[in-house]
Amino acid sequence: MISPWLMAALAGGIIIVGLAVYAGILLARLRQQTQQRQQAIHRRNERILDSIRTIAMAVRDDQCNLSEGAIRLTNLLNTLQFSQPKDFATDYPGLYDLYDRVKEMPTHEARNQLKRNERMRQDLQRAGFEQELEAQIKIEVARLVSLELPGR
């Protein structure tokens, strides 16, 4: 006959082994989910990066005006996800400066609602900003055309 102490120790051991197996399964699932999440982020970053390169080429080749390019590029750069935050404003100060200057200007339907003289005033102001920052932005978009994600 098995002593009650031995039965309790055996039952405890079975419970501990069961919990260890369950913990191992949970850790494996967590590792798999983390890996899937990282792959999804990488795929998303690659799609965003393709858009950044395309817009940068359009700005470089004068197919897109500087203000529109600055708005689109800064917003896309800000959506890239990294394990450590990246400050693109220091890497591309011309783009971010132009963005800061024109971001409050109305676009699309709101712009069409403005009086003609107000629209012209804003267009002249925007053109002045673009002219002031054009040389720096052209250098920055040339770098963005070949931008790569870290770790590649």
Average pLDDT over residues 9-30: 95
Predicted confidence band of residue 91 (pLDDT cuts 50, 70, 90): very high
Alpha-carbon span 58 to 131, nearest angstrom? 17
Q: How many domains does the chain have?
A: 1
Q: Is the pLDDT of residue 152 over 60?
A: no
Q: Is the dihedral of CA 63, 55, 116, 133 positive or negative?
A: negative
The domain of 123 spans: 9-146
Q: Is residue 1 part of a domain?
A: no
Q: Is residue 2 part of a domain?
A: no
Predicted confidence band of residue 75 (pLDDT cuts 50, 70, 90): very high
Alpha-carbon span 84 to 119, nearest angstrom? 41
Q: Is residue 4 part of a domain?
A: no
Per-residue pLDDT, 119: 87
What 3-state DSSP class applies to 84? coil
Q: Percent of the chain beyond pLDDT 90?
A: 73
- The pTM of this model reads 0.80
